[in-house]
């Protein structure tokens, strides 16, 4: 087990290094001069060259990559020249909303998808399976933005149960903050739940034909217990 985990860790490290090289190479290949873009077309060549030196753009390619990768490892993402603050501060400001939203959407999609997948697999080929997978296919096909607009119209505009937009901040209280995240979380969760439900169903149907499942059934274990 230890050898297996070490191999997987080594593969993950190599994959991350290669991915970082690809991302850095793409940024280098993209046409345009960042210094010229920031200063504008009317800037003089001396001004552009000075900013390039300040940003380290004139350093050798390998040195720039090591500096960039080292910054990522130390959570130093550089400075936003648009907002004139370190990028990590912008990330901190937004993660207090984005992370709870992602976790709520993940929990909702899992809570919905696994029971639906179990239900559908347990009724493979019957009406319940067809209805459940039809709903899942609809969830995959419907665009997120359209579904989000329908949620806003129904629950925010018509029923007035939740706000249509904005985030009051956690300082306003947990419940007001969660109310503002409900609709975005549902809009993110349902398409993912539809995909996960289909994957769960397919995996269960495949496993239900295994020998050990037939053995468990032959020994008298209830079908519902085998399924779960």
Same domain, yes or no: 63 and 149: no
User: Looking at residue 64, what DSSP letter applies?
Assistant: H
Distance CA 203, CA 195 (A): 12
- pLDDT score at 98: 92
Task: Compute the half-sphere exposure of residue 150: CA atoms within 13 Å on the CB side of its CA.
Answer: 8
Same domain, yes or no: 9 and 109: no
Same domain, yes or no: 82 and 52: yes
Give the end of a domain, one of 74, 90, 106: 90
- pLDDT score at 99: 93
Q: Report H helices in 74-210.
A: 87-122, 127-141, 144-151, 174-207
Same domain, yes or no: 78 and 105: no
Report the C-alpha dihedral over residues 202, 198, 131, 146, rounded to 10 degrees: -170
Number of domains in the chain: 2
- pLDDT score at 12: 94
Same domain, yes or no: 101 and 214: yes
Same domain, yes or no: 119 and 60: no
- pLDDT score at 18: 93
136 and 198 Cβ atoms separated by less than 8 Å: yes
- pLDDT score at 111: 95
Same domain, yes or no: 9 and 31: yes
What averages of pLDDT result for each successive group of 10 residues across the chain (228 residues)? 89 93 86 77 81 82 87 83 83 90 94 93 87 89 86 87 82 85 91 93 89 88 84
Same domain, yes or no: 140 and 207: yes
User: Residue 174 is part of which domain span?
Assistant: 93-227
Give the end of a domain, one of 31, 59, 90: 90
Give the end of a domain, one of 90, 118, 137: 90
Same domain, yes or no: 200 and 99: yes
Residue 86, strand partner residues: 79
Same domain, yes or no: 98 and 159: yes
Same domain, yes or no: 83 and 102: no
């Amino acid at each position: 087990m230890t050898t297996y985990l070490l191999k997987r860790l080594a593969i993950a490290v190599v994959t991350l290094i290669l991915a970082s090289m690809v991302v850095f190479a793409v940024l280098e290949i993209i046409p345009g001069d960042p210094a010229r873009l920031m200063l504008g077309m009317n800037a003089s060549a001396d001004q552009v060259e000075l900013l390039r030196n300040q940003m380290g753009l004139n350093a050798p390619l390998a040195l720039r990559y090591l500096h960039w990768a080292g910054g990522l490892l130390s959570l130093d993402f550089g400075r936003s020249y648009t907002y004139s603050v370190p990028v990590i501060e912008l990330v901190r400001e937004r993660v207090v909303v984005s992370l709870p939203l992602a976790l709520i959407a993940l929990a909702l999609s899992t809570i919905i998808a696994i029971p639906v997948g179990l239900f559908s697999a347990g009724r493979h080929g019957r009406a319940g399976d067809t209805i459940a997978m039809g709903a899942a296919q609809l969830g995959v096909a419907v665009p997120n933005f359209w579904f989000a607009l329908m949620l806003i119209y129904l629950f925010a505009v018509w029923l007035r149960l939740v706000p249509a937009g904005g985030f009051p901040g956690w300082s306003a209280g947990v419940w007001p903050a969660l109310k503002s995240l409900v609709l975005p979380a549902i809009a993110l969760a349902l398409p993912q739940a539809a995909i996960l439900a289909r994957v769960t169903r397919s995996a269960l149907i495949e496993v239900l034909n295994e020998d050990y499942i037939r053995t468990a059934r032959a020994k008298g274990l209830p079908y519902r217990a085998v399924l779960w």
